[in-house]
Structure 1
Amino acid sequence: MKPSLTKIDNFPYQYFQYGSKSSTDIDVIIVLPKAEMPATQEERKRKLKQLKTEFQLDWNAIFVVIKDGVLTDTIYTKSWVDSLNNAFYHTHKHHEQFFEIPVTKTVKRNKTLAIYKAVRTILTMLTRTHLRSQIRPIIRGIHPFQLKLDVLKTIDFSEIETFHQKNTPDADAWKIIAFYLAQNELLIEKNIEVYSKEKLLKQVPAIADFILRKKISQEAKNTLTELKNNWLQTIENYGNFTSNEHILSCNNEHVDMVKEISL
């Protein structure tokens, strides 16, 4: 039985579940009035932690601000507004809700931001592997984007046995890598937005073992490496990426690589 929300009568904000039909997590947006959204990301994280502790919540929750039916602010770099807006819009229907749905339309995706986020997330999963000496010097947003792509080109997933991540089990790390890779490929190459594992597996069934957290074979790792190489070619075909200090630009889309936000 999938986990689901329960009604909390004295909770100070409206809250909504979203995500895959069969998700094992309770993914939740908590809607704050703009005036109550803390100014800094660290303050937002602290406020969220305090709220979860006070109400003993096991949610994978995030604060959002909504105006005119779309998300306008959230906690960066945990998420970003265009993706979260569309993810919620497409998946809230899979879950019981207790309030009128506040997101009424999708927004245009900043594909350059989506590419950057996917690249950095995948590299982050590998920072404690044998590749750490290659990745750590170029992982931050102040480094040219091309350096990240160059490292990704060298990765052979068949060489990865464990990720050594303190807070992310190997099964979760494999799922994160496969999901981001396939999701981004579909967005950039086919303009298909995918926000649930069910839809993702219909589009890319070859990554089922990763997404379903099954035992990962060498054959599956080879398949993931091949998909990664195809994805990198898709990124190169997307346009000319230019890095100016911490600003990444491509196709008239601009990204702050440090804050991981659209400009």
Structure 2
Amino acid sequence: MDTSLLQAPYYFFGSANSLDRDVLLECEHIPDKQTSQGWINAYRQHHQVSWNINLITIQDGVIVNTIPSKSTIDGLNNALFDTYGLHTQEYPLPVTRKVKRHLLLNIYRCIRTVLTFCTRTHYRSAIRPTLNGIHPFHHKLDSLELLDFTTLTSFDAKYTNDIDIWKTIPFYIGQTLALLNEVEIYTKDALVGSFPQFANFIYRQPLTLGDIAYLQQTKKQLATILRTLPFENPESGILIMGNEKIDMSLEVAL
């Protein structure tokens, strides 16, 4: 690996009260996914840390690339800008301004994330054929509408436990609903401030039937709004809404 990365600037971001430490590690360039993961593993081992690390590159005061791509680049940029001050930092804030959010890409990420978490449930046969980016977008909306969280007892995921999935799904849904109203949410407390009934999910507390019913209701609200938006799917893998355009297979803005 590039040994200079071991001393690269890093920035904590996100919720101040998170159980995990989310970190952005700045580098001059980002290699392919496999090499990047090797760099991240080497960094953790060298510094004896268990941080959740994203590599980032910055140009002209904004984040222009990241890997792993757990968040959209625009969302990561604004999350660091908004939450940098919530943490004790070793390096000055490198981001000088917020950027316009890419609404379409974030909507797509939300839908695909929610559906992916449900691919090992009894909805598997309905969801799996719609997940690939080459499939028509309206099939993904159909699958989102089909989901009923009140019927789920476990997500049966291989690498993620249920409590983390129950936290992530309402976070994505809440963030997306807020973004549709031009509100950006980047912390657990901010999400619960907008959606108080998500508190048990977000803070990993025991869930009640009422909690899950509320999540189902909120998911239906999101699906209803999405049905009113002017999506265009003119060719395989391409999705357009207004002046925004994405590649669904790569999950990138065009």
Task: Give TM-score scaled by structure 2 length.
Answer: 0.94
Pairing 1:28–2:23 present:
yes
Which of 236, 251, 254 lines up with 1:260 in the alignment? 251
Pairing 1:12–2:3 present:
no
Q: 1:193-218: per-residue Cα shift (whole Å, max 9, x none)?
A: 00001111111111111111111222
- The more displaced of 114-123 and 41-50 is 41-50
Counterpart in the other structure of 1:202: 193
Secondary structure (helix, strand or coil) at the match of 1:136 reads helix
Counterpart in the other structure of 1:238: 229
With over 3 angstroms needed to count, the CA separation of the structure-2 counterparts of 1:245 and 1:42, relative to structure 1, is farther
Shift of the alpha carbon at 1:221?
A: 1.2
Alignment check: 8 A CA contact 1:76 1:259 kept: no
With over 3 angstroms needed to count, the CA separation of the structure-2 counterparts of 1:155 and 1:77, relative to structure 1, is same
Q: What is the rounded CA distance, in whole Å, between the counterparts of 1:133 and 1:141 in structure 2? A: 17
Q: How many residues align?
A: 250
Q: What is the rounded CA distance, in whole Å, between the counterparts of 1:204 and 1:73 in structure 2? A: 31
Gaps in structure 1 of 5+ consecutive residues: 1-9
Pairing of 1:22-101 with structure 2 (within 5 A): 22-34=17-29, 37-38=30-31, 40-101=32-93
Q: 1:157-206: per-residue Cα shift (whole Å, max 9, x none)?
A: 11010111121111110110010001101101x11000001111111111
Q: What is the rounded CA distance, in whole Å, between the counterparts of 2:234 and 2:23 in structure 1? A: 34
Alignment check: 8 A CA contact 1:126 1:163 kept: yes
Gaps in structure 2 of 5+ consecutive residues: none
Q: 1:60-108: per-residue Cα shift (whole Å, max 9, x none)?
A: 0100000111001111532221010011110111001111110111000
Pairing 1:248–2:235 present:
no
Q: What is the rounded CA distance, in whole Å, between the counterparts of 1:240 and 1:70 in structure 2? A: 28
Counterpart in the other structure of 2:157: 165
Q: What is the rounded CA distance, in whole Å, between the counterparts of 1:162 and 1:135 in structure 2? A: 16
With over 3 angstroms needed to count, the CA separation of the structure-2 counterparts of 1:243 and 1:20, relative to structure 1, is farther
Alignment check: 8 A CA contact 2:239 2:248 kept: yes
With over 3 angstroms needed to count, the CA separation of the structure-2 counterparts of 1:165 and 1:11, relative to structure 1, is same
Secondary structure (helix, strand or coil) at the match of 1:254 reads strand
Q: What is the rounded CA distance, in whole Å, between the counterparts of 1:95 and 1:110 in structure 2? A: 26
Alignment check: 8 A CA contact 2:201 2:207 kept: yes
Amino acid at match of 2:208: S
Amino acid at match of 2:75: S
Which of 65, 90, 105 lines up with 1:113 in the alignment? 105
Q: What is the rounded CA distance, in whole Å, between the counterparts of 1:163 and 1:98 in structure 2? A: 39
Counterpart in the other structure of 1:4: none
Amino acid at match of 1:246: G
With over 3 angstroms needed to count, the CA separation of the structure-2 counterparts of 1:227 and 1:57, relative to structure 1, is same
Shift of the alpha carbon at 1:243?
A: 5.0
Pairing of 1:153-192 with structure 2 (within 5 A): 153-188=145-180, 190-192=181-183
- The more displaced of 68-77 and 197-206 is 68-77
Pairing 1:222–2:213 present:
yes
Amino acid at match of 1:220: D
Secondary structure (helix, strand or coil) at the match of 1:192 reads coil
With over 3 angstroms needed to count, the CA separation of the structure-2 counterparts of 1:235 and 1:76, relative to structure 1, is farther
Alignment check: 8 A CA contact 1:77 1:260 kept: no
Amino acid at match of 1:191: E
Q: What is the rounded CA distance, in whole Å, between the counterparts of 1:149 and 1:231 in structure 2? A: 10
